[in-house]
Structure 1
Amino acid sequence: MTSASPTITTLEPGTLRQWTTEHEDLVIIDVRSAVEFASLHIAGSYNVPLPLLSEHTADLAARLGERVVLVCQSGARAEQARQRLAAAGIGTAYVLTGGAPGFADASGDVVRGAARWDLERQVRMVAGSLVLTGLVGGRFVSPKLRTVAGVIGTGLTFSAASNTCAMGKALAAMPWNKIAEEPTAATAINQIPTLSA
């Protein structure tokens, strides 16, 4: 493990492509849900969803070495994971710029499964649909329906301020997002080889 002083670092997809051939100690951790991971992930990466990583940060940190790359869809969840790992003593974790899709766009080696909407896109669709319904319903049905738009706006503001997403958690529990089984601490963390000194 490294010192506890975190360094905010990002890594470009091209650099990661180079690292995959040059560094045997490289560990790529994808913090997205199992469904997102199943639809597209970097070859050789490990799926440790952010909620699981958050609950078992110390166990995971004990297995990691000096070269860790965190991956999600856009970078937000990977940055949350980086902060948690930094607090546990892993100060050299990198967040992949552009996430798994960015790596695929940069001709990186990826594994593709069934195409599905990622969770962030589902949240945008549901939030946008509810706001539109509230505004249209408020105009043509009852002005009280505009409250729906206000509630969603308040929820999105709280989500940004707290860096959490209740709607995302609710959507993750929906049947269409449960096609792939979420890993447990044993299946996710124990699959990662122990690299720490």
Structure 2
Amino acid sequence: MTLIPITPKEARARLDAGQACLIDIRGADEFARGHVAGARLLPADMITAEALPGDGRSLIFTCRTGMRTAANAARLAALAPGAMVLEGGLDGWRKAGLPVVENRAAPLEIMRQVQIAAGLLILAGVILGFLVAPGWFALAGFVGAGLTFAGLTGFCGMARLLALMPWNKTARA
């Protein structure tokens, strides 16, 4: 089973006619920053057959670019036979000139915050290692080890820590 591709314009027509429900499978922090009006947030890791709307409308799944939906396509198609995938995701919707609900005041997505923080810590460790003392190289090594651990286990301590920061409290509310 697979998801049926649908263009943003076709999806818009179905949504406007009340024939479809758009399911955004991204995280709450990403959804808070921008989404299609009327889209329902249902993160990929929380999707079950019971969580999906059962009101007879067609289901259209989306994410930011379509890659996350494609990675989950087999599972989504098994849970919702005949479901569709929005081509290009939210980015494709934007490129088609369709409106997006945006909140620039919402914090950056947690994973982007992790990338920025990790990059800055590694850069600082390398610069300080050359300019101050070689012991600072350990900072870069520690962050690199943490990123490797996160990739292997799926647990990112830095993401958990950043999620507790005051600027991220609104995204979780």
> Could you tell me the TM-score, scaled by structure 2's length?
0.71
Q: Partner letter of residue 103 of structure 2?
A: G
| Corresponding residue for residue 20 of structure 1 | 15
- Between the aligned partners of 1:172 and 1:75, the Cα distance in structure 2 is 25
Q: Does 1:111 align with 2:101?
A: yes
The answer to whether the Cα contact below 8 Å between 1:31 and 1:50 also exists between their aligned partners in 2 is yes
Q: Does 1:38 align with 2:32?
A: yes
The answer to whether the Cα contact below 8 Å between 1:66 and 1:92 also exists between their aligned partners in 2 is no
Give the greater-gyration-radius structure (CA).
Answer: 2
Q: Which has the higher contact order (CA 8 A, sep 6+)?
A: 1
Q: Does 1:73 align with 2:64?
A: yes
- Between the aligned partners of 1:76 and 1:174, the Cα distance in structure 2 is 29
Residues 151, 45 of structure 1: CA spacing in aligned structure 2 closer, same or farther, 3 A cutoff? same
Residues 62, 30 of structure 1: CA spacing in aligned structure 2 closer, same or farther, 3 A cutoff? closer
Per-residue CA distance 1:89-139 (angstroms, 9 max, x = gap): 324444434432442232123222344423343222112112211211222
Q: Partner letter of residue 144 of structure 2?
A: G
> Could you tell me the TM-score, scaled by structure 1's length?
0.64
Percent identity over the alignment is 36
Residues 121, 64 of structure 1: CA spacing in aligned structure 2 closer, same or farther, 3 A cutoff? farther
| Corresponding residue for residue 149 of structure 1 | 140
Structure 1 residue 9, shift from structure 2 partner: 5.5
Residues 142, 178 of structure 1: CA spacing in aligned structure 2 closer, same or farther, 3 A cutoff? same
- Between the aligned partners of 1:71 and 1:170, the Cα distance in structure 2 is 28
| Corresponding residue for residue 116 of structure 2 | 125
Unaligned runs of 5+ in 2: none
Structure 1 residue 165, shift from structure 2 partner: 6.0
Unaligned runs of 5+ in 1: 1-5, 183-197
